[in-house]
Amino acid sequence: INNIIDASDIDAQTGVIEIGPGMGSLTEQLARHAKRVLAFEIYQRLIPVLNDTLSPYDNVTVINEDILKANIKEAVENHLQDCEKIM
């Protein structure tokens, strides 16, 4: 996970879109480095786990939706509008 973070060039002005955060291990590290994280998780059963894991981070939004059906433009406008770059 640290290698991914180091190679990603994420900084305090970056908004990150994560597809399939699973249990939230990478998401947590993204939250520590990015300005905001917008994570799309399709599986409802993982939402309580993510809510628990990510509760210390007010810069993470988890959306329980299939990324292929999501309105990405709207989600970015609603959650990442104050980020200088989006990855």
User: Between the CA atoms of 86, 23, 43 and 67, what dihedral angle is there, to the nearest 10 degrees?
Assistant: 10
CB atoms within 10 A of CB 25: 11
Instruction: Give the per-residue pLDDT at 57.
Output: 98
Q: Which residues sit opposite 36 in a β-bridge?
A: 15
What residue ranges define each of the domains in the chain, with the CATH number in brackets? Answer: 2-86 (3.40.50.150)
pTM as predicted = 0.94
Instruction: Give the per-residue pLDDT at 41.
Output: 98
For 44-72, the pLDDT digits (tens) are 999 999 999 999 999 999 999 999 999 99
What is the DSSP secondary structure assignment for residue 70, as one 8-state letter? Answer: S
Token pair for residue 22? 């699973």
β strands within the chain, DSSP E: 14-19, 36-40, 60-63, 85-86
